[in-house]
Amino acid sequence: MADPRAVTDRKTDAKRRHDTELRGFASDNYAGVHPEVLEALALANGGHQVAYGEDQYTEHLQRVIRSHFGPSAEAFPVFNGTGANVVALQAVTDRWGAVIAAETAHIHVDEGGAPERVGGLKLLTVPTEDGKLTPELIDRQAYGWEDEHRAMPQVVSITQNTELGTVYTPDEVRAICEHAHERGMLVHLDGARIANAAASLDVPMRAFTYAVGVDILSLGATKNGAMFGEAVVVLNPDAVRAMKHLRKLSMQLASKMRFVSVQFEALLARDLWLRNARHANTMAQRLAAGVREVDGVEILYPVQANAVFARLPHDVSERLQKRYRFYFWDEAAGVVRWMCSFDTAEEDVDGFLTALREEMGR
């Protein structure tokens, strides 16, 4: 039997290491787990369930996914977002295939070369003003299908919402899908923050995925209140090959998959995903409104989801970082990114704005 004193000591140590009142604006990955997701994990933690996705939670998740993404949708839970993107892109490309993406795309900038080194893909990137691709921008790289000296463009990958916090409308995604399909290419959507985009647009997730022609997507959960795990969602089964085998080959097959699946169920079966995203977006709007009143600080992109990008003096950012965690987006240009989360409170935003005004006034 465990020594009660040892349990008490562990609790004391945890409190000593972790200030539960601490908030920052560095990433929505910094947030904890939503209490309803923790409750779902605890409920799933009894008895034995079949491993590797043959459990009742993963089976039920398929019905939940179809309610959001259409009757042909099938979810393949994985460990993380990079894994979801790599597996999804592998499933819709040949060994000689290439993926067209924005220059700011997460698959290009923030995944350590995994799509290329692990997935064996070639990324063909395009500069954009706001992180969003258009048919015209896609055509800068959509050529050379018969040229054996060039990787063949087979997929267009977009991010919703984008890495710059902007959001594609359903019509914009439809135009991309129609353009790509006309040229024999498929469309992948990186949905790490898909809930924030749906909340911003006030439409169901299917409105800018299944309904407009997206073939496959990476479905995010961690940034929206989950502990761990994302999913690949196949929307066009005719275009996708060997997902089960690719997931295993890519080391993304969880043995105790019920604990990934039940988190998606907790988020998606009711409206928790939307409540969390709406709150994060609202806090970003509150932050942006306050920032606009501070002389010398410039907001760079439309604040359409839960991110605020701004330019301010470098020394101010460095001092402010000692009070609140956040990242430089482009340090040479003095550009920073401030992210809001499902648990960001009004007083967190107001405290940050007070600190910003104080540092700008020094």
**Which class is 35-268 in CATH?**
alpha beta
Q: How many residues does the chain have?
A: 362
Render pLDDT for 284-304 as a digit per residue (tens, 0 to 9).
999 999 999 999 999 999 999
112 Cβ neighbours under 8 A, 6+ residues apart: 82
Single out the residue of 127, 87, 357, 106 nearest to residue 243, CA to CA.
87
Render pLDDT for 5-27 as a digit per residue (tens, 0 to 9).
555 555 556 566 778 888 899 99
Single out the residue of 197, 206, 174 nearest to residue 187, CA to CA.
174
**Domains of the chain by residue range:** 20-33+272-361, 35-268
Is the CATH number of domain 20-33+272-361 3.40.640.10?
no
> How many whole angstroms separate alpha carbon 330 and alpha carbon 312?
11
Mean pLDDT on 184-199: 98
Mean pLDDT on 121-126: 97
pTM for this one?
0.94
Mean pLDDT on 242-256: 95
Render pLDDT for 313-344 as a digit per residue (tens, 0 to 9).
999 999 999 999 999 999 999 999 999 999 99
Q: What is the pLDDT of residue 9?
A: 57
> How many whole angstroms separate alpha carbon 49 and alpha carbon 200?
38
